[in-house]
Chain A
């Protein structure tokens, strides 16, 4: 995109100078406007976080019997929440990595906070497998560490793969994010007013001074990381899908699972990005950086993903019928007619039907509409996760073992608590770190407006 094309076509709008970019980006940190919104949001998310802390304390005190799980449906909310959060955690790295490699200009305004979202979401995801454990204090037994028993992890278990995948993913995303932050931290070092603030940002800026030699190494390293990020992201949710696909349970042992999970992850992740983008635009007055065109672009991605999801669902039905195995067929019938049916229809509606509205450009460019649909998509994706966990275990091979899952208060408390904690972290982030990559936007602005 060059300056030639009209302002309408620009990704950054209504900005006069580089200094204005810097000012706007550091405004939420250095001189925030309408802070009451922020405080209100912080209060809400804070109380939810508190609820989570209470729930976890209760959980550890009484044991995981406080969940709704039973003898046959041994997995419940924590696993679904884990898969769901990790899915959301996929968008950030993908956006910054994939869009960087494909030289998508609209990446610029999104990648910083999307990566932050990735980190927080992945951390939430990382918590749930621990809550889910019968004896959480022995989590470290999954890791290879020197011990007096001479024991090792059992490497064939998908849970061990999970540990490595998620661990790698969080570490990687943190590094990727931080390296991208350094030049902007340097900017804040110079813009901050109090000496201590400057020292703090200075310390984390590692003494970045914009040297051309640094820039050269930085650019290369950043691109290599992006190149690594893509296969990593794909591997993470593929491995998560193996928690189910590597079993021999009806409805789980499907070869379609890995791609299906990765797309699902993208899907929910982008949906969450939409919500946060809208929030930032509104709360930090980032209108110039997050424009209708951004929402339009994401909406197109969501539309594509929704179609892929639809195909995946259809494929499952087809295989159940064509494969001819009674348990498989029975399971699909159960989804449509059993007690979970309303949830299943909700899943289909939110994930496949509703997003078709994005065919219309008017919807795509109407931020409110995009946000609402994205929220619905996130609900739909959560329903999909919980149903994957529930339905198979509720209708296993032996009818004598069939049971139904009834969630308890603590199941819900942890789910909404984690949402609160996620919001809480994000709110702190926007007030402490630059939510927009200043140096990249400066570059983009210059490209669009000439020097």
Chain B
């Protein structure tokens, strides 16, 4: 592996300081500092200085592995991209994968062994460990982990159990699937993983489910979803009944906001329609039409109809959905669960707490988990762990749990580790490091091996050992292929043929006392493990556009009833526990339901994440619950700022022009766009070798933000921090505007990614006094940072407001929480870091265009269609972003520009944008 070598290119801030003295320097000689070039002593294999290298690797989310490709330059990982060969990446990424490079270089990562906070040594630890486990077979020894599906880790745990037979292993995952597991037990008598073949469904009914939301299955689902929305494909009809907005709900053709209790009744009604006899459903009449239509269409589409239940639904509803799907012959595979433990997650967590308080343990190892944060305060885990004589925490950070333990052992980041993992369907892939460990850390497997005395074991050997035993044929060849492809061939599980139990009666949900809390993992920091990642903290929540915190989302009705205005700080009280956060009212959310996100309110996340937002998972008696009743909402005495990157999501009567919506019928009648240009007095643009253009399909876009973080990683876009956000400042080159507008009789929400429009008649250019904003011959509107003097006339005159100004030295001296220095290593060396006082903006990944052009020119050919891919385009799981050359009449973008749903943002200004859009399209009620 190449080692992290100091950046050989000149420190950019020095350069800027030099520039700053340019004027004076003309008078007195400016003595430029000597600049050193440090070559390798020994050049690593295959490395060309300054050229990117790509390694297939695996990153886990909630334990399940997804295969990605890591890009490193001069041995520094700088970017994560999708791995087309991996069934759960399909070449796309999500925000968590993109942000891993940020976590890798996080200066707050734990770098040393600690004993009661003080830095300690291996020897001290092993001595103490020996003490704790001497002369016993593991009696009173507990191991706590999150979900484990990695074959190697499972092998290590087996070995551990082998060495300490009577130890107890507790595994729980904060973002769990207990309801689905229980539902499967009811339906099939065993736990299974059910994977819908979404793309095969013509009609989908989602009962509070969010298959398009973040999670281990998002990328596969999103791609399937998009495959039914491309031009010409038979469009899917999606019905969603849900309490709070989900990305799936936003994508649905027909959505109805209902309380969880009503969703149970809807399930009952649909089941009855399929021939079950579960008593008469109690459907409020505003939902009747929805239910009737959904059932009718499901019936009509037998074999191609699918019903999905959400985690917030009780096990019975999941069971019923399995039964309905069976009746409908739904396209869904039931696979053996990769989760090695039979018990449910919440159950295990409670068991752990009970055993701790019963003082059953003399030693506890918490391996890469943070139960003290995840578990509700009612379990008093911190005290429990503290009461154990020997306790050790293995983790990336000195987090809440590390504080409760005596020992803390620093964990290696995935990008510096060898390991393996499995995807939801069992597809195995290797975790391959892109860099040597930055600090003296070890992987989870190494620690586990080491705890049973194999202290020499290196992760690399452990992984190879695992696979030597279960890969037939020439191992070395398969190994190289596995590393190269990022997947291990034929490791996916085969679907089970299961006998289905007839559904027992569906219990009537008791009408909730007080308001109910609908809780889900945070769309930016997930279950809290990414809370110290500045990119993700500044990545806005899809609907509220909130950053750096979590809001209490309430229905407008409740807001009115309780006299709560947007951004008021409110208290949510439940069982004596209180959550305080700013409130935001969400048109289209069910009355009586409060929406909350886990994952914020970390107590010991690091300089970035500590104290941001409110801790939601601490409340309630039932750990990891998705739904709680009996909440009381009231205005708070405290005041917590609501920080968002978009203050206005209503379109103020400009919907027709800005966020355009069409029904399939309207589209049918619309005649195809001609691509003809409106008249202008200005001359025709000069014809260059290429005419780059982008078409963004707002119909495919599900608002997952992957493009935003991908852009940030690719283009060294700095974070600005909460204070600056409150000032109304942000730096994202690509923003996803969230809009809500009534359409027909329902509230529509949609997403509009807005990069620079690269207008042919760019308004920003003629107003720049120094030619810092100019056009090049390939139609790019380029910003020359080093020429910019910061008049900001360009942004003032930009109708799309896509330009971003460095009010402070965000990427250098004045970086938020001193991130600047730490992230030098992550910076993409092909992109300038922008200094204070200059304007910047999207440039269609100019560095990639330039790389592609040079590659082509060296071979005296032109860049091929699809050869040039922007960072946002590469990341997009739904392929909503199309990029290419308008000079080719046959190119993707040229064709899309002729599509009937094609439109130009603010066309009346005749700025001739090169970035254009496809309308959001919905099925209408009538057509089948």
Residues in B whose Cβ lies below 8 Å from that of A406 = 727
Bound complex: CA A166 to CA B88 (Å): 63
Measured CB to CB, the residues of A under 8 A from B are 62-65, 68-75, 132-142, 151-154, 156-160, 163, 243, 246-249, 326-327, 330, 393, 396-404, 406
Q: How many A-B residue pairs have CB under 8 A?
A: 168
Bound complex: CA A397 to CA B657 (Å): 10
Interface segment out of the listed B69-77, B274-282, B832-840: B832-840
Q: Are A152 and B771 in contact (CB under 8 A)?
A: yes
Given the contacts A159-B769, A398-B737, A70 and B728 also touching, CB distance less than 8 Å: yes
Q: Are B796 and A393 in contact (CB under 8 A)?
A: yes
Whether, in the assembled complex, B800 has its beta carbon less than 8 Å from a beta carbon of chain A, the answer is yes
| Residue from A68, A159, A398 having most chain B Cβ neighbours under 10 A | A398
* Interface of chain B residues 750 through 805 with chain A (CB within 8 A): 752, 754, 763, 765-771, 787-793, 795-797, 799-801, 804-805
Whether, in the assembled complex, B809 has its beta carbon less than 8 Å from a beta carbon of chain A, the answer is yes
Q: Are A139 and B789 in contact (CB under 8 A)?
A: yes
Given the contacts A72-B728, A157-B766, A159-B793, A151 and B807 also touching, CB distance less than 8 Å: no
Residues in B whose Cβ lies below 8 Å from that of A135 = 20, 788-790, 836-838
Bound complex: CA A292 to CA B770 (Å): 50
Residues in A whose Cβ lies below 8 Å from that of B658 = 397-399
Q: Are A399 and B769 in contact (CB under 8 A)?
A: no
Apart from the given pairs A133-B837, A156-B766, A160-B769, 12 other A-B contacts in the complex at a CB distance below 8 Å: A63-B837, A74-B796, A134-B790, A134-B806, A134-B836, A137-B22, A151-B770, A157-B793, A159-B791, A398-B799, A399-B650, A400-B649
Bound complex: CA A64 to CA B800 (Å): 23
* Interface of chain B residues 636 through 666 with chain A (CB within 8 A): 646-654, 657-658
Residues in A whose Cβ lies below 8 Å from that of B339 = none
CB-based nearest B residue for A149: B787
Residues in B whose Cβ lies below 8 Å from that of A158 = 767, 793
Q: Which of B767, B801, B809 contacts A72 (CB 8 A)?
A: B801
Q: Are B788 and A134 in contact (CB under 8 A)?
A: yes
CB-based nearest A residue for B774: A154
Given the contacts A62-B808, A133-B789, A248-B799, A397 and B769 also touching, CB distance less than 8 Å: no
Interface residues as binary, B427-465 with A (CB distance below 8 Å gives 1, 0 otherwise) = 000000000000000000000000000000000000000
Residues in B whose Cβ lies below 8 Å from that of A398 = 658, 737, 754, 799-801, 906
Whether, in the assembled complex, B729 has its beta carbon less than 8 Å from a beta carbon of chain A, the answer is yes
Bound complex: CA A209 to CA B792 (Å): 52
Q: Interface of chain B, helix or strand or loop or mixed? A: loop
| Residue from A132, A152, A327 having most chain B Cβ neighbours under 10 A | A327
Bound complex: CA A160 to CA B649 (Å): 37
CB-based nearest A residue for B908: A325
Q: Are B771 and A154 in contact (CB under 8 A)?
A: yes
Q: Are A399 and B654 in contact (CB under 8 A)?
A: yes
Bound complex: CA A73 to CA B131 (Å): 65
Residues in B whose Cβ lies below 8 Å from that of A243 = 793
CB-based nearest B residue for A333: B652
A12 to chain B, nearest CB (A): 48
Q: Are A400 and B787 in contact (CB under 8 A)?
A: no
Bound complex: CA A188 to CA B770 (Å): 47
CB-based nearest A residue for B23: A137
A164 to chain B, nearest CB (A): 11
Bound complex: CA A160 to CA B799 (Å): 22
Given the contacts A134-B805, A134-B806, A399-B648, A154 and B789 also touching, CB distance less than 8 Å: no
Residues in B whose Cβ lies below 8 Å from that of A327 = 654
Whether, in the assembled complex, B739 has its beta carbon less than 8 Å from a beta carbon of chain A, the answer is yes
Q: Which of A63, A134, A249 contacts B796 (CB 8 A)?
A: A249
Residues in B whose Cβ lies below 8 Å from that of A326 = 653-654, 657
Whether, in the assembled complex, B814 has its beta carbon less than 8 Å from a beta carbon of chain A, the answer is yes
Bound complex: CA A396 to CA B658 (Å): 12
Bound complex: CA A401 to CA B801 (Å): 7
Q: Are B800 and A134 in contact (CB under 8 A)?
A: no
Q: Which of B730, B735, B789 contacts A134 (CB 8 A)?
A: B789
B286 to chain A, nearest CB (A): 29
Bound complex: CA A160 to CA B788 (Å): 14
Q: Are A153 and B770 in contact (CB under 8 A)?
A: yes
Residues in B whose Cβ lies below 8 Å from that of A399 = 648-652, 654, 658, 739
Residues in A whose Cβ lies below 8 Å from that of B768 = 154, 157
Q: Interface of chain A, helix or strand or loop or mixed? A: loop
CB-based nearest A residue for B839: A134
Q: Are A74 and B795 in contact (CB under 8 A)?
A: yes
CB-based nearest B residue for A132: B791
Residues in A whose Cβ lies below 8 Å from that of B814 = 62-63, 65
Q: Are A141 and B787 in contact (CB under 8 A)?
A: yes
A108 to chain B, nearest CB (A): 41
Residues in A whose Cβ lies below 8 Å from that of B793 = 157-159, 243
Residues in B whose Cβ lies below 8 Å from that of A134 = 788-792, 805-806, 836-839
Given the contacts A63-B814, A154-B771, A71 and B808 also touching, CB distance less than 8 Å: no
Residues in B whose Cβ lies below 8 Å from that of A140 = 23
Whether, in the assembled complex, B358 has its beta carbon less than 8 Å from a beta carbon of chain A, the answer is no
Pairs A-B, 6 closest by C-beta atoms: A134-B790, A134-B837, A70-B728, A65-B807, A401-B801, A74-B792
A-B contacts, 8 listed (Cβ < 8 Å): A69-B807, A71-B728, A71-B730, A134-B838, A135-B789, A157-B793, A399-B654, A400-B646
| Residue from A249, A397, A402 having most chain B Cβ neighbours under 10 A | A397
Bound complex: CA A333 to CA B136 (Å): 80
Residues in B whose Cβ lies below 8 Å from that of A138 = 22-23, 770, 789
Residues in A whose Cβ lies below 8 Å from that of B769 = 141-142, 153-154, 157, 159-160, 163
A166 to chain B, nearest CB (A): 13
Q: Are A247 and B763 in contact (CB under 8 A)?
A: yes
Residues in B whose Cβ lies below 8 Å from that of A75 = 792, 796
B258 to chain A, nearest CB (A): 29
Bound complex: CA A249 to CA B648 (Å): 19
Residues in B whose Cβ lies below 8 Å from that of A400 = 646, 648-649, 735, 737-739, 752, 754
Interface residues as binary, B704-730 with A (CB distance below 8 Å gives 1, 0 otherwise) = 000000000000000000001001111
Bound complex: CA A160 to CA B769 (Å): 6
Q: Which of B728, B729, B799 contacts A397 (CB 8 A)?
A: B799
Whether, in the assembled complex, B684 has its beta carbon less than 8 Å from a beta carbon of chain A, the answer is no
CB-based nearest B residue for A399: B648
Bound complex: CA A248 to CA B796 (Å): 10
Bound complex: CA A64 to CA B814 (Å): 13
Residues in A whose Cβ lies below 8 Å from that of B795 = 71-72, 74
Q: Are A71 and B654 in contact (CB under 8 A)?
A: no
Whether, in the assembled complex, B909 has its beta carbon less than 8 Å from a beta carbon of chain A, the answer is yes
Residues in B whose Cβ lies below 8 Å from that of A163 = 769
Bound complex: CA A157 to CA B789 (Å): 14
Bound complex: CA A404 to CA B728 (Å): 8
B584 to chain A, nearest CB (A): 16
Bound complex: CA A138 to CA B737 (Å): 35
Bound complex: CA A141 to CA B769 (Å): 8
Interface residues as binary, B624-639 with A (CB distance below 8 Å gives 1, 0 otherwise) = 0000000000000000
B324 to chain A, nearest CB (A): 40
Bound complex: CA A72 to CA B805 (Å): 10
Bound complex: CA A232 to CA B754 (Å): 43
Q: Which of B652, B728, B767 contacts A246 (CB 8 A)?
A: B767
Interface residues as binary, B326-339 with A (CB distance below 8 Å gives 1, 0 otherwise) = 00000000000000
Q: Are B797 and A247 in contact (CB under 8 A)?
A: yes
Bound complex: CA A136 to CA B22 (Å): 12
Bound complex: CA A402 to CA B650 (Å): 11
Bound complex: CA A72 to CA B509 (Å): 49
Residues in A whose Cβ lies below 8 Å from that of B652 = 330, 399
| Residue from A72, A74, A400 having most chain B Cβ neighbours under 10 A | A400
Residues in B whose Cβ lies below 8 Å from that of A397 = 658, 799-800, 906, 909
Given the contacts A68-B727, A70-B728, A141 and B770 also touching, CB distance less than 8 Å: yes
B792 to chain A, nearest CB (A): 4
Residues in B whose Cβ lies below 8 Å from that of A64 = 790, 807, 837
Bound complex: CA A71 to CA B657 (Å): 23
Residues in B whose Cβ lies below 8 Å from that of A159 = 767, 769, 791, 793
